[in-house]
Amino acid sequence: MMKDYNPNTKKGGRPPKAFGQKKSYRVNLKLMTEEYYSLIAKVRKSNTTISSFIRSCLQKGYVKERLSVEQTGYIRQLSGMANNLNQIARQANIQGYTSVRTEYLDLAAQIDDIIKMIAP
C-alpha cells in the first residue's frame, strides 16, 4: 500500500540556521613557515580545529594599535624633557634646589601636559 504525499509533513534533518549564525565568510591567510608551525602547535595544544582556534582568538584576544605619528612626537618630546630634568637635577645638587626650583616646576608641568595628551 502506498502512502499519500502530504506537503505539510516535516522532512527531517537539521533545521536551517538563522542569518547571523550561518558561517558564510571565508578569509584566506598567508603565513611564513615559522608562523604556520606555531599555529599548528597551538591548535594541537588546545585540542581544537584551526578554524575554532582562530575564532576564539578573535573573540578573546586583542591587538594593540600602533602609536600614531602624533603620539610618537610626544614621546620624543618627553625624551628631550627627561634630559633637561637630569640637567636640572645636576644643577640642584651643585647649586642647591632653590636656585632651579622654577625651572623644575615649569618642566614638570609640561611633562604632565604631554602625558595627558598621550594617555587615551
For residue range 49-70, list pLDDT tens digits in order: 999 999 999 999 887 788 888 8
Amino acid 120: pLDDT: 65
> From CA 28, how far away is CA 76, in angstroms rounded?
39
How many other CB atoms are found less than 10 A from the CB of residue 10?
6
Amino acid 40: pLDDT: 95
> pLDDT tens digits for 60-109?
988 778 888 888 888 898 888 888 888 888 888 888 888 788 888 888 88
pLDDT at 111 over 60: yes
Phi and psi angles of residue 45, each rounded to the nearest 5 degrees, phi first: -65, -35
CA 37 to chain CA mean position, Å: 23
Amino acid 3: pLDDT: 62
| Set of cell numbers at residue 87 | 640637567
96 neighbors 70 (Cβ within 8 angstroms): no
**pTM for this structure?**
0.46
For CA atoms 28, 34, 35, 39, give the dihedral sign: positive
